[in-house]
Amino acid sequence: MPRPTQAVAATPTKSSQATSTGQVPPTLVPSGQKTVSLTVRGTDAIYLAGRVDVKIPPLDTEDENYPILRCAGELLETFPASIAVAPGAQLTFQVSGAMDFWGGASPTGPDGTDASAVEALDGLSGYTGPQGALVGVFLNAASPKGKSAPEDLDMENLGTDFATLAPELGQVFFIGDGLTGTGKGNVQKFAVPRGATRLFLGIADGGGFGGPPGCYGDNLGTFQVQVSVQ
């Protein structure tokens, strides 16, 4: 079951979120360093991970080939942040900040709230877990377009208080604040699977946090993420 909402204030970032329509290269962990810091926006669509074939269209246009559903809202989707990874490594996360997914009504922290059930898209699995939480997906160097999706990781049944999680390539998985409890508990570890070269971080959204991926147009705020490599 999802954990309680983390009570923190969201920071609106409409102007900055609507500017990026191009792919962002993975952030490299500098040689000799063990950590890297990233900003994840509410519009960072995890189901655009690795989609080098996609160009995000303007809000006032329609593209039948665009894979993400659009609902009401004033913001463009953005490609998710990513880092380069090596198979066999273990990652930990420190996450802060807040997002609002209803246009300014109810900010939540990185552990999310309630339940969601977003469908799979191409080579990326569906996501069943806390809505609005920080999520990730490991990919290799290839695009997931046209590939079969792996089995979903059902975080509702698995729970979010795990000590270690080992997702497969293409499985969208819960990260939250990186702790076994909301704002407290032990640091969780995430194993990089065989074949993975990239980790993408973003949000799994849909209409009412269910159904086909999309509906990022009213997502405000950011998460500040520090990833440590072990």
Residue-range domain boundaries for the chain? 14-22+34-229
pLDDT tens digits, residue range 24-47? 666 655 555 689 999 999 999 999
Q: Is 14-22+34-229 CATH 1.10.357.10?
A: no
Q: Which residues contact 7 (CB under 8 A, 6 or more apart)?
A: 109
* 94 vs 221: CA distance, rounded Å: 17
Alpha carbon distances (Å) from 28 to 33, 83, 89, 201: 10, 6, 14, 14
**Which residues in 92-108 are b (16+ Cβ under 10 Å) and which e?**
bbbbebbbbbeeeeebb
- Rounded to a whole number of angstroms, the distance between the first and last alpha carbons of the chain is 29
Mean pLDDT of all residues belonging to the chain: 87
| 220, containing H or E segment | strand 220-229
Give 184-229 pLDDT, tens digit per residue: 999 999 999 999 999 999 999 999 899 999 999 999 999 999 999 9
CB contact at 8 A, 130 and 114? yes
